[in-house]
Structure 1
């Protein structure tokens, strides 16, 4: 039995079905991200776990006990919101200790817990300040400390980094992950940012249209997507046109070349299909182990510092590939002829 079980969860607002037959088991101490575009239902799932929304159908169990009929304050769940939700008239220490006060924790114990939380988030000397005297990143740390102070069984994070600038987001997400691992607290993190989800999660749930399209580790989600939506939403995807030659042997024709894919195809010979490749699977020029070589024309070059993103036209398709920046090798010129190569083992074959 998993620590947190979500089974057959459904939620509608009038005729609008927001969450459909959502199922997820989370182990104790696991960090799981709900990833998807706006409107996919991820925040609604989080709010149902917190008790702020009541599901139309389904069960939410923590340690085997159904939570659906319990009020939010009975669930021992901590939640961090996107907009911080700090009390402007309370100091940092008072904000962190607010839940403890409501719970009737003795004053001395509460003071010790607040000091512990402020040290945990790296703000031990700012307890006397007010929220308006803090930066956005500091305010979000205080919101995290407030959620953790009550020692929740489950921590819920609803896009907590979206209001921060890029550099602070990267730093704070690393801190959140480190704190979560140190406390071994079961955590659900909602985000629409694939990089955030990939970098800090034990597992990712990719949501689309109220359902879980795929659940897996970051490695599985990125390298082995099972649906076209997941493959396109997580990372950049290139598609090359191909024709099935021998489906049982996995042989297809690309640009006049026949290649053998790692697995058989459930399509008839002569069927036109698309072969999906990540930018890092494509190589500019030829290379050992990359048996498929296609002529191309460079159409765009973007200098991104350590990486150069090149876009090329080949076989009627526009593909993007990444190459490392080297000071002694100038980037290719737009309009110049080139070759791109890849290995058949790097082709992503989608089930749907």
Structure 2
């Protein structure tokens, strides 16, 4: 009989990565933040002109860092930690229009790692100040379309990590649940007259929010439809309509949403409808919302509200009952020197006056003018 010799075990020197004890400590701190701040208010807003339609605004501005991006930033850091690419000495770099960077700077300070935000030099001064207050460094560029390349280059030069929210937003968030924004919305609606909304209306910056909500409603076989509202100059709407070359878009003047290119995290197949919203109309709705409800929000919230009012009037006209949910994305005090300043608006040819009657008619009468 012949005998065989078992193949030897191949043992290798372990790769050097972040200390597991530190990673566990960091994850515990991020999860503790989630326990403290996971839920935000869901405001029910009365529309006098749309008796059949209940409008809800989920106020993401109440997060500690003041915006919807608090959820995304925490998820991106957890994604990096659990993938073994963030350690105690890692310089974290991000390309941002501001709000994500504010939240990421907050978590970087919590973990004691350096943070650099690459942003267009048109970013509101208030956002820049918030990032610096959290200990982050701001690297400003003249061309908004260059933020990706510059962020990648700075990360490589420092031996750090480019978080790349625009590619990783849809994969870093657990869309099946785990207290994501979709799960939170539906839990808060459970006892309402229309617990399964007809529409959820959101803007797209990375595309991660629409991807999460679109996947979630399909996962639970809900009839809710997702509408993405898109500002002027964004590449998302042309791409969704089938434009083969949306890369030519100039980018958005509404901070936080709309991009000059179609971001990898934007998943058009889970979006049921898109509405293009004029920039001045976004600002008119932002201003009207504050006057009527006291909710002082930023311009992307105005885009959401304008789109939600259009859909509410459409439902009212069709005799359809139901609910619509949208988001308060961030705080209006971040824009006092820009979108909240009449001179700044006039310099950019943004006249909100023609759009105010449209918003008022939709709100008070349920009639869409135009």
Give TM-score scaled by structure 1 length: 0.26
Give TM-score scaled by structure 2 length: 0.25
Compare CA radii of gyration and give the structure with the larger one: 1
Q: Per chain length, whose mean CA-contact separation is higher, i.e. which structure has more relative contact order (CA < 8 Å, sep 6+)?
A: 2
Greater percentage in strand: 1
